[in-house]
Structure 1
């Protein structure tokens, strides 16, 4: 174990065992006990007898602080903790939907469906109204469209960034609400209504 971790320590810029340069160190046992200031060789011998590593944990102290530990086990534990922390992180993507200010109802409903899907998936959505020519002289049309979209999807998302005119584009950002209502199952509703109607007739 003593020689095995020297290479690993060099890669991580952590000095262990024979890599520790100081002649005197403040030694901490594997149980966290303060063992006082020891000559480096004495500290190394104590660690060797326990078949453990000597790890420099505070190189800038005077003298440097070293601790007796199982370096491999400690490294594994820290790596598992980092993985657990990464799993808890919520990765939110930002999707973009582009609309024209004079978009028809059918196309608007299609775009709204895309935004709904993104919000349900936990993504933010950047909605951009693209003006052409003299359309930019009527930004109120773009804002009205964005407000309509936000109102239609009020149960799923909230406006994170209010509609803002940027050059020839107007941009609004929506973010998902923490608890979005489940998507309605239209088919099951129709089946239930049919069953109730049949029961009433019988």
Structure 2
């Protein structure tokens, strides 16, 4: 901005068009108008505009804030199961998964194996398949069951 522009020549963009001028001449034009010479792009020669720098910075911050608000944050909820889960407890977990999926959250369903239960990983896969079948009317996509250490998990997306 203003004297911080190092180049000897700048491409000045204004309402009347664009022109290549020496930096000193462009800076004098900005001072006469009571505004600032702001470097917009670092090309060769740098692209500059004559404008109010405070207003320009405010507009940039406003755009950045708007872009941040438009980003959709994906929240993942986790439901933990055990291979020894009873049917009533299982249905309770299914109900909570249904509420999460209807709210638009991703749901990670995990089956944790304790001790020697890891040898019965097929039971865990069947449990996950049964869980997916219960909530299949709300699920658009799901990942394959992944065994990480002693936890078998799957991700359900609404």
- Higher strand proportion: 2
Identify the residue that residue 112 of structure 1 maps to in structure 2. Answer: 94
Q: How does 1:32-71 map to 2 (within 5 A)?
A: 33-38=17-22, 40-59=23-42, 61=44, 63-71=45-53
Q: For 1:84-139, what per-residue CA distance to the aligned partner results, in whole angstroms no more than 9, with x for missing partners?
A: 22222110112211111120011111211221222222221111111123322222
- How many residues align? The count is 158
Q: Contact 1:53/1:69 (CA < 8 Å) preserved in 2? A: yes
Q: Which runs of 4+ in 1 moved over 3 A?
A: none
Counterpart Cα distance in 2 of 1:32 and 1:77: 22
- Where in structure 2 are there 5+ consecutive unaligned residues? none
Task: After TM superposition, give the deviation of residue 154 of structure 1 in Å.
Answer: 1.4
Q: CA RMSD in A?
A: 2.0
Q: Which structure: larger Rg?
A: 1
| Larger relative contact order, structure 1 or 2 (CA cutoff 8 Å, min sep 6) | 2
Q: TM-score, normalised by structure 1?
A: 0.69
- Where in structure 1 are there 5+ consecutive unaligned residues? 1-15, 177-202
Secondary structure in structure 2 of the residue aligned to 1:154: coil
Task: After TM superposition, give the deviation of residue 60 of structure 1 in Å.
Answer: 5.1
